[in-house]
Structure 1
Amino acid sequence: MKFLYAAAWIVGIALMGQSVPILNHLFYLALILVIVLLLLQLLQLLQLFLFKHKHALILQFICGLIYSMLFLTVGYHYAQSALQQRLAYKETKVEDAEVIVYIAKINQLGAETIQQEIQVLNRHVQPVQWLGFQKRISDEQAVLELGKYYRLTGEIRPAHSYAVRGVFDVEQWYLQRNLMSGFKLKHIHPLSESEISALGYTNYLRKQQGVLNKIQLGIEHQRLNIRHFIYSQPLSHKGLILALLTGDESFLDKETTAFFQRFGISHLLAISGPHVLIFAVMLCWLLQKVLNRYWPQIFLKIPRPYALLLPFCCCVLLYCAFVGFEIPALRTLLSCFCLSVLIWLRQKISALTLLLLSASLLLLFDPFSILSAAFWLSYGACFVLLRIYQTTIRLDLTRPQSWQKKLVFSLKLLVESQWKIFVALMPLVIIFFKQVSWVSPISNLVAIPLISLLVVPLEVLAAFTFYLFEPLSSLLFQLADWVLVFLLGILNVLDELLPIKLYAIALNSWQVILLILLLIIVFMPKPSLPKSWLVLGLIPLLGFSSQNSPFELIVLDVGQGQAVYMQHGQQHAMIDVGGSYDESKFSVAKQIIQPFLSKQGVSQLDQLILTHLDQDHSGSYATLKNELSINQVYSNQQLDVATTSNFNYCQQGQIWHWSEQVEIKILSPKANQLAQVPYQQNELSCVVYIQVKDVQPYQYFLIMGDAGWQTEFQLLQDYPDLKVDVLVLGHHGSRHSSAYAFLKHYQPKLAIASAGFHNRYGHPSTVTQARLKALNIPLLTTVEQGSIGFIVQPTGIIELTIQRQTRQWLQSTDSVVPNAIALNGSQPH
């Protein structure tokens, strides 16, 4: 039952930011549960007199279930309380500001920018942490120094996520790292401690003089010294050397990171348990040798294992502080502390219980760790390794004893562990990254021994000797660098022999859940569920999805651009695919469209309609056409398509019947206008009209592309009786589209503007918003609501879904849906 209690606590924390009505009344629910538990405990004391053994087990099960519900409820509200406290300091508006800051951590150097965590003293009643951005000009430029105070002027840049299913949540990342905003630095003015005191921050100044803060600052200075020392060495892979030692990725270039990702070994760049343990074991071994030589009698008073526990834990704590208390290192720290306490108390505990206890304690100290992929991957990998270990110790006790056979056995175990870890972590990799490297087991088989057994120990020794004898430290770093050269040489050979790339995995949520259940069957002990059940589970997993999937239309949040996804049954289509001004710096295709389609379980599109070829509507197509199968492409201009795709011009009169319920039409441009498209690209956008029959309250959708007044007037002439329930405003809500007469004639129930956060065009225009307000037409925008979806329910009602309402940190006062929309008959979710 203890496993269940810990798991319930973790699940409760994992619900952070979500609305769970049944758990909202904490006091009353907890009170009822406690009363019931007391009654059950009383009955359990009397079970020898009132119950037989069978009934006692049932009572114990019920009691455990209620305890689990209590742990889940408390965990949920504990997480919600922590979330509300942190959200109170979150910045939401872009504005210029002057702030007083203190620098407590080292910066991170990028190719173009310098990122620096800053503690802001004058924004709220208590200091808050922001992430400062400074343009990197040269290595000699002035930077913010550790332990110094500054007056900074610049621009507050709040974190703003692309609120799309399956896409990396920047706001969640900021929240998890306790960063309340971004800040673009413009001017830097140093302040002395006397000036800080005169400004009224004496208490904060005194706090920084405390022992713990001085130790933390000293550790940061040592991290900076190590960075400078490695940078000064003639090493081929300075970025890898530094990242593997301290987790500092300042010298790590994008090409190396992408290379490790393609091979599925990027997890090795994170500071993990072995890094921490190697350092602790080395120092404790050295301490043991010293004690054996100069003070051996201590082991007569204190048994050897107990005598080394405290130094071991101190070493683990020191290295965790040295690498910035990253989650994998914290996992090791808490596990070591728990195990040490249990050893001192002479208590036995299973490895799985220790793992769950460590996770529970970590979430008690920092519930926001649950938002990190590192938490799930770290503990997930440990769980799999425990399962492999349990399998190993259950092997025949007569296994080979000679060193040759032991070596073969160890190599076999290493190979087995790699494919098991790869398979077992597949669901988590799909959930967090939506792509996988199939060569990962092979590359890990090569990389893990070299990095864990050679590179990391050499680096730890090099860092230790840096404070004793720098030439020896330099030599050890050079040896580690040579091992990395050898490793990358092997990987480069593999790269030439095999088509190594990251493959997108398209599985929807139900398929991922099914995959998890199948893997549980695979890794359960043999007497458990029959493995033949795997065959039944593989059928839906391999793509035999329902032919009756309901109609769904989603206006995606792609920033200052447009992308609309449609699905009905087995048909999948998109109208525009967005695109950033520079896809090489931020790829809408790779960062938004592909993860979203993978989350939907979509591996190919039947149709793609590009309303026109502006970058913000079609820019990501150049990437998508090489990564995604697209059967048919339509646009108002010719463009290069993949060899597997067909191209046609979109023109008035085209109709596609997806079913008896769904019909798609092109209303503009006319065939004789196509020759004018190069001169009127926006105005002659493909205007798409979608009708969904026998549903309420939204049946008719009109998507205008970047068309303006001229096209709107033409539509009024050609389609005076057109019914419009949902209008996706032309040109992102520009003042030169959505004319008053056009809006008044069609009178849509809902208008949608697809626009970017803090865009320089001011879309949607205040003029357009005024027109809509005058006509009582509700307006939703992807800036404020994120992705906006419409999905047909079995009852025939189209449900309106707002992505920014799915998590509390995505919500703001602007993201609240206007009441008028609910009055039209659809309740947003």
Structure 2
Amino acid sequence: MHYLRKLKYTSLFNLLKNNYCIIVFLIVILFVLYHKINIFLILFLILYFGYLCKKSLKLSIILVIILAFIFINFFTRLYLQKKNFQQDFDKIGKVIKIKKTNTSYQVIFKVGLEKVITYSDTYLQCGGIYHLKGELSKGSTAHYQGGFNYHHYLTYQNIIGILNIEKMEYIKKGFSIYQMNEAMNHYFDKVLKTKSAAMIKALTIGNKNDLDESLQQDISNIGISHLFVISGLHINILAMCIKFILKKVHLKEYKIYIFTIIILFIYFFVTGLLISVLRVIISYILRLINKVLNYQLSSIDMICINMIMVLFINPFYIYQYSFILSYITSFIIIISSHLLTTSSKYQFFITSLKISILSLLVTLPIITNINPDINFLSIFYNILYIPFITYIILPMAFLVAIFPLLECIFNYVYLFFETFTHFFANIKIFTITFPSVNIIVIFVYYFIIYFILKNLELKRKIYRRGIALLLILLYWNNISFFNYNNEVYFIDLPKGEATLIRSSHNQANILIDTGEFGYDDIILFLKKQGIKRLDLIIITHSDSDHNGMLSSIIDHFNVKSVYYNRYDTQTKNKIPASISNAGLKANDKITLRDIELKVLSPTKDYQNSNNNSLVILANLFGKKYLFTGDITKVVEEKIELTKDDVDILKVAHHGSNTSSSLSFLNKIGFDISNPNKIAICMNGYLNQFSFPHSNTVYNIQTKLYITSYSKTICIRKNKLLSKYNIINRW
């Protein structure tokens, strides 16, 4: 304590005071650049750092030292992960986390300083030590633009890979700090019997695994997910209760502070070391030190110190959405605090409305990475739900955790919450989809927000800035109209096939097949691309891995027409009467603007859904594509094409051995004499049939892309430069 008192008199303390925000700003910029290099950001960083050096060289040196410490920590962790990754895995590991999934248990083992993730059919005791033997693999990168990058997720959770266990032997029972969280889970499972038990777990110990999936989706849809993350509200309630009890036993104030901090850290362990809890505990300690020692640090300084301390502990946290959202929301509320105050008799409502609007605007670019659908009614839902959660549900959840007999009362509150949340979630009139955009758009958006807040602070008019904000949101929402490329996407789905054909400036959008039922990747992909309208959906045949998501796509998008093969009654029955549809056969033609499609098959009913697939020769943006559905060699023999008729081939039946005969491939010129031709095999990265077959791969002598390895393939023609590119890095 003596050293802490003397700290405020040092030159270092006074130099950094009111400058911590600069450190945080530079940290964020550097981590953004590490994730994705951008020449404009690099130039800006160089100019800004040059300005800092000119302003204060000593401050600049201190900034470099702090940044170096964080980034050395960051890159050391990455190096150790890479060094410790061994495909042939044979090590001792300790169970630290276990989570029940639909079909098995997801288990995280601590192995040395790193972790591995695996799946087990049986429950493993937390803390148990096992001898693990198997094959270690890295998580998959994003399957399409804006898709979930499982490799990055595992890396920033300090998990070196996914272990496919061949042999697992129990050695002995060990200790893990996560056992406290596991014990609380078992306690709740034992004493709580109603449906509300999952919400009590979520609110008190941060375990949302048991929350009903449909309820979680409803909570996300109305924009109140943040209320189910353990935050300052939880810690403040807990701290107040602790201080109230300790005051009753007449402890001295400094002892009350010490006991409170100790109990809060115990709670941190009970929640399973949640970063949100750590952040709030550090914030509580900083506020306490600032008050007791009279440091006179501003709120901005304290939240910046908080963030720097958390990143000192683990710099990987900066890539976790919960970390980003909590800090960016706290920043905006602090710097806008003077704009939030009002003397109106409706102070609570007006302040809550301002906070909701500000929070939504500043978190919009981050939230759209998770879910592109933004419900603007969430501004009002938060005003309704925040007091309801704060004053009723959260205190009751803690009470039920201590006195389980009250569960029956809480269950009625839970059912009320569930019913109304589901009702609000189905109101989608103000839900707007924001697709993926480049980082320049995001920076322009934030600059506009900054100038709006600056003008409000100076009490100037914001009409022009407000119009600029509306224009950038309008541009963002309608980004497809500003796309000058013609593109064909062969989408990497878990199972099945889907191909998107889109012409420049949103003139025409065609989807061939929809992927397997139950996998909504195709929905998310289309929304991330800014697709709102599908002029035409073509279903090649009735198998569920080709037409499974048709009904869901019709629900989410403005579908103009659906075509299918004339023998496919199953697909026909899925199409609402309001949407035009037709069954196609050989020699039928479709023309949509500059897109030409000619049907080559079926010529008859083969009494087989695969052979009845639509085979389409498409003239797309100067290249000739052949889409083959799931036809077998029987149909391939009947297709009359020459070597000059096809430039790009969609390999039939996911690369099955029943298709892609050598004679057919030679007939259309996919042999060694035509290296510029391209074949694309859409095998599904979760397919259970080991597609593509080795014979198919051998038969194709041209360039072959397999989507489970190469991810989504985009063949793009730049309309301005008349240049073709093949893109498969997302």
Relative distance call for 1:359 and 1:597 in structure 2 (3 A) is farther
1:434 matched to 2:426? The reply is: no
State the SS of the aligned residue for 1:260: helix
Which residue pairs with 1:55 in the alignment?
none
Which residue pairs with 1:818 in the alignment?
none
1:505 matched to 2:433? The reply is: yes
State the SS of the aligned residue for 2:261: helix
The answer to whether the Cα contact below 8 Å between 2:605 and 2:612 also exists between their aligned partners in 1 is no
Which residue pairs with 2:512 in the alignment?
576
- Aligned letter for 2:653? H
Which residue pairs with 1:60 in the alignment?
55
Which residue pairs with 1:13 in the alignment?
31
- 1:510-544: CA deviations, max 9, x gaps? 56665545444444442368432332453464366
1:624-663 map, 5 Å: 624-636=553-565, 637-638=568-569, 639=572, 640-655=574-589, 662-663=594-595
State the SS of the aligned residue for 2:496: coil
- Aligned letter for 2:728? I
State the SS of the aligned residue for 1:553: strand
1:515-594 map, 5 Å: 515-526=445-456, 527=458, 530-539=462-471, 541-542=473-474, 546=481, 549-569=484-504, 570-580=506-516, 583=517, 587-588=518-519, 590=520, 592-594=521-523
CA–CA separation in structure 1 for the residues paired with 2:102 and 2:650: 39
Which residue pairs with 1:725 in the alignment?
647
1:281-300 map, 5 Å: 281-290=240-249, 293=250
Please state how far the C-alpha of 1:66 moved relative to its aligned partner. 10
CA–CA separation in structure 2 for the residues paired with 1:416 and 1:435: 22
CA–CA separation in structure 2 for the residues paired with 1:548 and 1:360: 40
- Aligned letter for 1:9? I
1:301-700 map, 5 Å: 304=253, 308-343=256-291, 346-393=294-341, 395=342, 399=343, 405=345, 408-460=346-398, 463=401, 466=402, 473-475=403-405, 480-488=410-418, 490-491=420-421, 499=427, 503=431, 505-509=433-437, 515-526=445-456, 527=458, 530-539=462-471, 541-542=473-474, 546=481, 549-569=484-504, 570-580=506-516, 583=517, 587-588=518-519, 590=520, 592-636=521-565, 637-638=568-569, 639=572, 640-655=574-589, 662-669=594-601, 673=603, 675-676=604-605, 678-679=607-608, 681-682=610-611, 684-693=613-622, 699-700=623-624
Q: 2:150 aligns with which of 154, 170, 178?
A: 170
Q: 2:80 aligns with which of 85, 88, 95?
A: 85
1:780 matched to 2:692? The reply is: no
- 1:59-112: CA deviations, max 9, x gaps? 4299999998998898777645533432455577xx9x886442234x333454
Relative distance call for 1:10 and 1:685 in structure 2 (3 A) is same
Which residue pairs with 2:234 in the alignment?
275
State the SS of the aligned residue for 1:430: helix
When the two chains are superposed, the root-mean-square deviation of aligned CA atoms in Å is 3.9
Which residue pairs with 1:796 in the alignment?
722
- Aligned letter for 1:129? K
Gaps of 5+ in 2: 1-18
State the SS of the aligned residue for 1:705: coil
The answer to whether the Cα contact below 8 Å between 2:178 and 2:269 also exists between their aligned partners in 1 is no
The answer to whether the Cα contact below 8 Å between 2:340 and 2:355 also exists between their aligned partners in 1 is no
- 1:205-244: CA deviations, max 9, x gaps? 7xx6xxxx6xx2563454245324xx42354511111111
CA–CA separation in structure 2 for the residues paired with 1:538 and 1:22: 24
The answer to whether the Cα contact below 8 Å between 1:443 and 1:491 also exists between their aligned partners in 2 is no
User: How many residues are aligned here?
Assistant: 690
Relative distance call for 1:558 and 1:529 in structure 2 (3 A) is farther
Please state how far the C-alpha of 1:33 moved relative to its aligned partner. 12
- 1:633-692: CA deviations, max 9, x gaps? 222135132344221234444555555xx533224116xx2x415435335433242332
CA–CA separation in structure 2 for the residues paired with 1:542 and 1:432: 20
The answer to whether the Cα contact below 8 Å between 1:9 and 1:74 also exists between their aligned partners in 2 is no
The answer to whether the Cα contact below 8 Å between 1:16 and 1:76 also exists between their aligned partners in 2 is no
The answer to whether the Cα contact below 8 Å between 1:435 and 1:503 also exists between their aligned partners in 2 is yes
The answer to whether the Cα contact below 8 Å between 2:452 and 2:462 also exists between their aligned partners in 1 is no
CA–CA separation in structure 2 for the residues paired with 1:635 and 1:77: 57
1:117 matched to 2:108? The reply is: yes
Please state how far the C-alpha of 1:798 moved relative to its aligned partner. 1.2
Please state how far the C-alpha of 1:130 moved relative to its aligned partner. 2.9
Calculate percent identity across the aligned residue pairs: 18
Relative distance call for 1:270 and 1:541 in structure 2 (3 A) is closer
State the SS of the aligned residue for 1:735: coil
State the SS of the aligned residue for 1:612: coil
The answer to whether the Cα contact below 8 Å between 2:218 and 2:422 also exists between their aligned partners in 1 is no
Q: 1:130 aligns with which of 116, 130, 149?
A: 116
Which has the larger displacement, 747-756 or 412-421? 412-421
Q: 1:223 aligns with which of 164, 184, 197?
A: 184
- Aligned letter for 2:198? G
- Aligned letter for 1:280? A
CA–CA separation in structure 2 for the residues paired with 1:596 and 1:82: 32
Relative distance call for 1:620 and 1:514 in structure 2 (3 A) is farther
Gaps of 5+ in 1: 42-58, 121-125, 136-141, 194-204, 297-303, 467-472, 694-698, 807-829
The answer to whether the Cα contact below 8 Å between 2:601 and 2:615 also exists between their aligned partners in 1 is yes
1:102 matched to 2:94? The reply is: yes
Please give the TM-score of this superposition, normalised by the length of structure 2. Answer: 0.82
Please give the TM-score of this superposition, normalised by the length of structure 1. Answer: 0.73
The answer to whether the Cα contact below 8 Å between 2:613 and 2:628 also exists between their aligned partners in 1 is no
- Aligned letter for 1:366? N
State the SS of the aligned residue for 1:425: helix
- Aligned letter for 2:356? Q
CA–CA separation in structure 1 for the residues paired with 2:40 and 2:451: 31
The answer to whether the Cα contact below 8 Å between 1:690 and 1:702 also exists between their aligned partners in 2 is no
The answer to whether the Cα contact below 8 Å between 2:610 and 2:629 also exists between their aligned partners in 1 is no
Which residue pairs with 1:200 in the alignment?
none
Which residue pairs with 2:680 in the alignment?
752
CA–CA separation in structure 2 for the residues paired with 1:426 and 1:557: 27
CA–CA separation in structure 1 for the residues paired with 2:67 and 2:596: 47
1:702 matched to 2:631? The reply is: no
- Aligned letter for 1:368? F
The answer to whether the Cα contact below 8 Å between 1:751 and 1:778 also exists between their aligned partners in 2 is yes
State the SS of the aligned residue for 2:151: helix
CA–CA separation in structure 1 for the residues paired with 2:423 and 2:553: 28
State the SS of the aligned residue for 1:117: strand
CA–CA separation in structure 2 for the residues paired with 1:445 and 1:388: 18
